[in-house]
Amino acid sequence: MRGYIKLIFGAALIMASVSGMFSAVDGTAKNAAQSIVDNAVDTTGIIEKRTKHTVTARKGKIGGRGSYYTMTYSFATAEGRRYSSEINISKEDAYAVNDGQKIAVRYNKKQPAINAATGFKDYFSQEDVENLPYGTILFSAFLLLLGGGWLCWSGWRNIQPSLEQISPGSGGSNPALPQGRLNAISSGGGPRTSFGQR
């Protein structure tokens, strides 16, 4: 079963890799980025809550002690649908605002899940469109291709049964079984699976 899961997941990674490469080469990535800029809408949002997260070092694991802050905010689109997002913010920003305070929000009218609290995080800009990191996109797609290829190969190896031949003369014979019976076992038709394999 694990072999089939690896094979399916590997195939999905390969398809994502090919899609990413084509989007960088044929201009789809740039068109999608331009659409985010062109469909930007400004509105007013509300800070729902600010949260301090404390990280403690754990023995025997990589990690450090410290804190980080998040802010959850919500806004309504022109059609009246409400959306909520959470972002990381600095300690200074966390203490400079209050829960329930109104803030500026910019969102994509076609995909409101793409949004930014513009006083705390930059929204995608025209400059970002012009400077898309094509090298990073292609390198990431290449890594996905390698990972998908390895998963497919590994999954296919686990799926294929090992066809190990058992011959009567090698390793001795069982005196309890007649020789003709041993030959029938080793030359029987149908799929064969080695002992110890599932």
Q: Say if residue 163's pLDDT is above 50.
A: no
- Percentage of residues in the chain having pLDDT higher than 70: 75
Gap between the Cα atoms of 99 and 50, Å rounded: 7
Residues 137-160 have pLDDT tens digits of 788 888 988 988 888 888 888 777
Residues 71-92 have pLDDT tens digits of 999 999 999 999 999 999 999 9
CB distance 109 to 39 below 8 Å: yes
User: Which H helix or E strand runs over 33?
Assistant: helix 28-38
Supply the pLDDT for residue 62: 54
* CATH number of 2-135, picked from 3.30.70.1060, 3.40.50.300, 2.40.50.660, 3.30.300.30: 2.40.50.660
CA nearest 141: which of 15, 5, 6? 15
- Give the amino acid at 101: Q
Supply the pLDDT for residue 31: 86
Going from N- to C-terminal start, the domains of the chain cover: 2-135
Helices 28-38 and 2-25: angle between axes, nearest 10 degrees: 70
Strands, DSSP E only, in the chain?
40-55, 66-76, 82-89, 102-108, 115-117
